[in-house]
Chain A
Amino acid sequence: METQTLIYIFVGLSFAMYIGIAIWSRAGSTKEFYVAGGGVNPVVNGMATAADWMSAASFISMAGLIAFLGYDASVYLMGWTGGYVLLALLLAPYLRKFGQFTVPDFIGTRYYSKTARVVAVICLIFISFTYIAGQMRGVGIVFSRFLDVSIFWGVIIGMGIVFIYAVLGGMKGITYTQVAQYCVLIFAYMVPAFFLSFMITGNPIPQLGLGSQVNDGSGLYVLEKLNLVLTDLGFGQYTDGSKSMIDVFCITLALMVGTAGLPHVIVRFFTVPKASDARKSAGWALLFIALLYTTAPAVGAFARINFIDTVNETSYAQAPDWFKNWESNDLIAFQDKNNDGVMQYRSGDAFEGAPVFAEGTAASGAREVTNTPNADSENEVYVDRDIMVLANPEIGNLPGWVIALVAAGGLAAALSTAAGLLLVISSSISHDLLKSTFRPNISEKGELLAARLAATAAIIVAGYLGIYPPGWVAQVVAFAFGLAAASLFPAIFMGIFTKFMNREGAIAGMVTGLAFTFGYIFYFKLANPEANVAENWLLGISPEGIGVVGMVLHFIVAIVVAKMTARTPMDVRRLVDSIRVPRGAGEAHAH
């Protein structure tokens, strides 16, 4: 059967499954809409958390980033898994014992303040929208490459699917579709990885393959060969990094703490029955995530070897089909600077900026690129890092059904994360802003309707951002983690582990962390991007890692202010006592 037909079948079947699950698990009450009724099995919740967490970025982009960054990409691997240790040990069981619906619920109640709740809602909405724009772009990329529809229609279809199960099913619908989506995405990720690992090393387990010898008879280990090949072409060693140690340290810490502070991840732990289940569930979530995260470094390394083997010093006329497919999607370009018709892949940019294609073809046969060539480098090939995972099955000559599976997997990853984000946005509006702050008299039915309307509005905004991505989207992903690390995490942490932290301290801390981190990232990423070089950074910390400094400031300001202001009320101290012990979870606490 033709690959294109297979893609339609795989994607169509997976979509039908998601809709079927949505209809089977409609939400009838706000409790079902916000936290799936609070009775989700910890293993099921772990799987749903993994799908919620692993976005288009994890599925599509991460292995590509690792392939091109080598050691430097370790920040993502450690940062995006180490956060689950913080969640399991420091936050999840206590938040579950607290037993409400949202993260601002906890902050508003623990700090006995509507202002604190509203500040938390602002942080949450900003973090979630930054994140969701990226998911919709992922949906657009997968649709336009694999389904031959325009990005516009791709995003519309994606929005329609999410609408059905997020708006109808709420958290309940999302939980069970996410379980299905996890199965699709992990299968789609592992199958090509087994093939590639077996092809390159003879060992089908990618985690072991990366530490094995290449089976080309050279007797070299995979990483040795990569280092050798890359230094030959003028790149740095794969196992060495170019980032400074303090920057690697801070980015890793910001990503870990940011992960633990992301509202759409935290809220998943409100859905299990007991506090001890929240701990278990975080463990399961990390296990399901680690399966992909320990495979990604292998996929990245194999993809880099494969890419160099097939592209470098090959004449364009003999370039493989996948090369030309991705070229026609603007994600690969070849500029024949020395006019020999052969592709030289070297260190450095081939030309300035992203490729701008003209009508017609150059003498080499490739699409004409009008960018100014970069005279400092012999490199002639431009390649977008995002294509590595999607192109891998084609680069490795794998059968058509594997390609179709990867297309369905990429969509599952993007849709599951988008749905989780939409839910926290809608519940923060209907529950935190309406029910708890501005319209306390709203009925259960009215609140449920408001939640559905808010989810619909959020889907439309997200879709718009996906179709017309503002230029700043790619620039501000650092916002989401930095802001979560500097604003939400410390406030929640001190709310559980101290009793002296009061309303004044918490609000001052959140505002300080938010303002500092926002200002620093805004300045270097948007206001003055030319200045974004290591010499100008505070202590040599890049905007990606600055959330750590914001977090430290949050702790200091909050503690100083709390020590100078009133003691926390007695009932709040009792609340802290009660969330610290697991017995009695499930009962909601009075506001």
Chain B
Amino acid sequence: MVDETPPDSSQADEGETNATENAYWRDNLRLLLTLMSIWFVVSFGAGILFRDWLDQFSLGGYPLGFWFAQQGSIYIFMALILYYVVKMRSLERKYDLDD
């Protein structure tokens, strides 16, 4: 997961943004990290790395790992975006930064 963790630039950020915007941005990064971890686990984890092990279980006629790779990961991707849209709206209202 080298690509989605933003390189640490917190020291460089200091003094250039106001406190509200900083707090908003930190909350956003925390939320992003959580959601990107789920993104990684359902596709690369369940659909690829642990597929063989998951295939011993089944969901209807689907071996579970195969289901994650060809169906489940896509449903969860949609849920992730939906959750992010809703959560960000409330974050932006909380910090009074909505557009």
Contacts and interface: CB of A to CB of B under 8 A. Distances in A.
Contact of A210 (B25, B61, B77): B61
A163 B18 CA distance: 49
A3 interface: no
A352 to B, nearest CB: 32
B73 A78 contact: yes
Contacts of B77: 81-82, 84-85, 286, 290
A274 interface: yes
B81 A286 contact: yes
A179 interface: no
Contacts of A498: 6-7, 9, 12
Contacts of B69: 71, 74, 77-78
A50 B21 CA distance: 33
A577 B97 CA distance: 13
A279 B84 contact: yes
Contacts of A256: 43
Interface string A225-268: 00000000000000100000100110011001100000000000
Interface residues of A, number: 66
Contact of B60 (A212, A275, A293): A212
Contact of B61 (A223, A249, A287, A574): A223
B61 A221 contact: yes
A78 B74 contact: yes
A366 B55 CA distance: 42
B71 A577 contact: no
Contacts of B70: 66, 71, 73-74, 77, 297
B99 A280 contact: no
Given A211-B59, A555-B2, A574-B16, A286 B73 contact: no
Nearest to A296: B70
Contacts of A493: 3, 6
Contact of B44 (A90, A253, A286): A253
Contact of B3 (A84, A89, A257, A585): A257
A82 B43 contact: yes
Interface in B49-88: 49, 51, 55, 59-63, 66-67, 69-71, 73-75, 77-78, 80-82, 84-85, 88
Contacts of B3: 253, 257, 490, 493, 551-552, 555
B79 to A, nearest CB: 10
B24 A581 contact: yes
Contact of B47 (A78, A210, A212): A78
Nearest to B62: A211
A494 interface: yes
Contacts of A584: 99
Contact of B16 (A253, A290, A577): A577
B56 to A, nearest CB: 12
Contacts of B63: 223, 239
B38 to A, nearest CB: 9
B47 A577 contact: no
Contacts of A224: 61
The 6 closest A-B pairs by CB, nearest first: A221-B61, A211-B60, A497-B6, A74-B69, A283-B81, A582-B99
